[in-house]
A and B are shown apart, each in its own frame.
Chain A
Amino acid sequence: MKLSTKLLAATAMISASAASAVELEVTHWWTSGGEAAAVSKFADAWNATGNTWLDGAIAGSGGTARPIIISRIIGGDPMGATQMNHGRQAEELIEAGMMLDLSDVAEAGGWKDIVNPSALLDSCTLDGKIFCVPVNIHSGQWIWLSHAAYETAGVPVPTDWNEFVASAPKLQAAGILPLAMGQQGWQQNLAFGAITIAVAGTEAWREVTVNKNADVARGPEYTAVFEAVANARELARGSNVQDWNQATNMVITGTAGAQLMGDWAQGEFAVAEQVEGVDYSCLPGLGLNEVLDTGGDAFYFPLNDDPEITAAQKELAALLISPEVQVSFNLAKGSLPVRGDIDMSSANGCMQKGLGILADGGILPSGDQALSADTQTQIEDLMAQFWSGDMAAADAQESYAELIANAD
């Protein structure tokens, strides 16, 4: 409570210094139904301060949006603020001095004390200065199960990955696709990551992804992972959709049994007015290994000559992390808030599970934090190739180990 009053005071102080209303263009790639609902919480809050939110949504996932965002910053026509994922996506832009230093806002808001886990703030920090404001935590290690599909097949809803695999033939017999999978590399990579943590455990995962140990990637734990993924590939055969939310829609309508997707999927279930535990279930860590990564989104503010805009940027930064906005945004988005000191009791069962794991400290850094965009792209390409074709598990493992050996 004390902290939030302090923050409110800081916000008010900065608001007061921004004399006139400013129009800030904000770019992001939140375009699905649940995401658009969430981003409008930000926009409404910002417009309520008398300023104007100029929405710069770019469709087609981060892979499409980031090039546009980056080339605009490099090209000297920066937006007011932009979404990026936690991690290293803006590393060089910060080093080149193209991003606004938010240290004073962070100081005033006491971000160091409130941001949980603190690793999120570390990804924003360079040489002791803070360059971004984390807004949410997303984790990718979830499986979403359709109750309707399991009812049709006449089997109980699985409680972990192994049960799911075992139940797959029954689903297939009932004409239901066991696993919905959007045919895009990042989704396939996400599924790979989730299966890795469930099958190989956090130690092996950390050794490979964080420490880039190619020997472990060649080792038996990862052999099991690749075999499990090859098996999952067969369960997803015939899933022709592209976008992740189309795959989620298959789970919502019961045409597919399950989907491996991040916690943002629950935004779609919410838009479709489905109830957790009744219409669908969610299992963090695939029910085997209850840990979550702490990916998610942060906002960056490109440097601007206009002092008025700079003031507005700082005002927006403080607003995005303020308690009320954090609650309303994250409830709509289905993500976890970046501060532990707010009341999330109205969150649904899935989010409560996530909050519980977060509070217990069952967290990992996200792939974006551990690996460069270059390496991530190469791994996504490999996964796209692996999932869509007939590549043998052993070949995929060897290629993967090779990428890890050269990773940075």
Chain B
Amino acid sequence: MTVASDPPLRTAKRPSRLFKNLMAKIASIPMILTALVVFVGGTTWTVVYSFTGSRMLPKTNWVGLDQYERLWNSDRWIISIKNLGIYGGCSMILTLVLGFCLAACLDRKIRFESAFRTIFLYPFALSFVVTGLAWQWILNPEFGLQSVVRGWGWETFTFNPINDPDTVIFGLLIAGLWQGTGLIMCIMLAGLRGIDDDIWNAAKVDGIGTVKTYVVVIIPMMRPVFITALVLIASGIIKLYDLVVAQTGGGPGLASEVPAKYVIEFMFRAQNLGQGFAASTMMLLSVVIILIPWAYLEFGGRKNG
């Protein structure tokens, strides 16, 4: 579907073409195996077995759509989806806005730029387990932020997103943003650096203000950067698991459950593989719906480079 649109210069009719292609093919065997056996094979297997009543071990006792029916009747799944929606929406918007604003600030020819950049990016080097534990400690109501602010004299200050079902998802969000915004900021910064000075000069000549220039001129020019950032954020959101396990364990109650955790728990803890597979198939479906059009545009239909 893609070869035709690529300029055939590099592989154009040369006498030794077969051999060269052969080497490239041999070199690509690990990639082909991974793509076909693990990604295509593995997901197909999971999808197929989601139509079975497999319990602890995979069995081919077909039950049709029963697993899906049960899935969508399950409170826990609905809560998980809602949580992911809230977390995902907030995380997507805030990461983009915060990432872009920080990048724009750093791009204002400021002093200590590299120090600030280092500070914003270092959490990205830490794992979600580490992130979750650190924030769990800071948000601990007895010792953490809440008790400290109360100690300052604000006795009624209440900020307990680890133990309050209504706000727990924002506790996760604070930690998730802390870990992930630095990367997006770096990508945005690189995008800003890639914009020609002439654009800025032209805007200045036209008398357009700085903020307006960003909104009207720069952001539209950075469309590909935003798309990359969006895809990176989105793929991270769907995989959200370690952070929840480390920071809240899905609690209090079911208040911070997420789909990825549902899948693991049903596959292994509840020993109901079919149910876990059905849930992971739903996750897969949502990824496909979001990503296929994008992947096609980015890698399929267009010339690269």
Residues in A lying within 8 Å of B, measured CB to CB: 63-64, 66-68, 70-71, 74, 89, 91-93, 96, 183-185, 240, 242, 372-374, 376-378, 381-382, 384-389, 399
Q: Which of B107-115, B124-132, B264-272 is near enough to bind chain A?
A: B264-272
User: Beyond the given A372-B55, A378-B270, could you list 15 further A-B residue pairs with CB under 8 A, ordered by the A residue number?
Assistant: A63-B265, A71-B268, A74-B57, A89-B271, A91-B56, A92-B56, A184-B249, A240-B163, A373-B269, A374-B270, A374-B275, A377-B266, A378-B74, A382-B75, A386-B253
- Please, how many angstroms separate the alpha-carbon atoms of A341 and B254 in the complex? 45
Q: How many A-B residue pairs lie within 8 Å, measured between CB atoms? A: 83
Given A242-B249, A389-B165, A374 and B254 contact (CB-CB distance below 8 Å):
no
- Please, how many angstroms separate the alpha-carbon atoms of A378 and B262 in the complex? 11
A230 to chain B, nearest CB (A): 14
B256 to chain A, nearest CB (A): 10
Residue B88 at the chain A interface, CB threshold 8 Å: no
The answer to whether A96 touches B271 (Cβ under 8 A) is: no
- Please, how many angstroms separate the alpha-carbon atoms of A388 and B267 in the complex? 25
**Contact partners of A183 in chain B: CB under 8 A:** 163, 251-253
**Contact partners of A387 in chain B: CB under 8 A:** 253
- Please, how many angstroms separate the alpha-carbon atoms of A91 and B267 in the complex? 16
**Contact partners of B162 in chain A: CB under 8 A:** 240
The answer to whether B163 touches A373 (Cβ under 8 A) is: no
| Interchain Cβ contacts under 8 Å between A and B, 11 examples | A67-B264, A92-B271, A184-B249, A185-B253, A240-B141, A240-B160, A240-B162, A372-B55, A377-B269, A381-B75, A385-B76
The answer to whether B251 touches A66 (Cβ under 8 A) is: no
Residue B255 at the chain A interface, CB threshold 8 Å: yes
**Contact partners of B76 in chain A: CB under 8 A:** 381, 385
Residues in B lying within 8 Å of A, measured CB to CB: 55-57, 74-76, 79, 141-142, 160, 162-163, 165, 249, 251-255, 264-272, 275
**Contact partners of B269 in chain A: CB under 8 A:** 63-64, 66-67, 373, 377
Nearest-neighbor residue (CB-CB) of A98 within chain B: B57
Given A381-B254, A385-B254, A70 and B75 contact (CB-CB distance below 8 Å):
no
**Contact partners of A372 in chain B: CB under 8 A:** 55, 271
**Contact partners of A386 in chain B: CB under 8 A:** 253
Nearest-neighbor residue (CB-CB) of A242 within chain B: B249
- Please, how many angstroms separate the alpha-carbon atoms of A92 and B264 in the complex? 19
Which of A70, A376, A381, A385 is B56 in contact with, Cβ under 8 Å? A70
A198 to chain B, nearest CB (A): 23
Nearest-neighbor residue (CB-CB) of A66 within chain B: B269
The answer to whether B255 touches A388 (Cβ under 8 A) is: yes
- Please, how many angstroms separate the alpha-carbon atoms of A93 and B271 in the complex? 11
- Please, how many angstroms separate the alpha-carbon atoms of A185 and B249 in the complex? 11
The answer to whether B271 touches A374 (Cβ under 8 A) is: yes
The answer to whether A388 touches B252 (Cβ under 8 A) is: yes
Given A92-B56, A242-B251, A388 and B266 contact (CB-CB distance below 8 Å):
no
The answer to whether B56 touches A389 (Cβ under 8 A) is: no
- Please, how many angstroms separate the alpha-carbon atoms of A184 and B252 in the complex? 8
**Contact partners of A242 in chain B: CB under 8 A:** 249, 251
The answer to whether A96 touches B251 (Cβ under 8 A) is: no
Nearest-neighbor residue (CB-CB) of B59 within chain A: A92
**Contact partners of A374 in chain B: CB under 8 A:** 55, 266, 270-272, 275
- Please, how many angstroms separate the alpha-carbon atoms of A242 and B249 in the complex? 9
Nearest-neighbor residue (CB-CB) of B250 within chain A: A384
**Contact partners of A70 in chain B: CB under 8 A:** 56, 268, 271
- Please, how many angstroms separate the alpha-carbon atoms of A381 and B163 in the complex? 17
Nearest-neighbor residue (CB-CB) of A69 within chain B: B268
- Please, how many angstroms separate the alpha-carbon atoms of A399 and B264 in the complex? 23
The answer to whether B268 touches A389 (Cβ under 8 A) is: no
- Please, how many angstroms separate the alpha-carbon atoms of A68 and B55 in the complex? 16
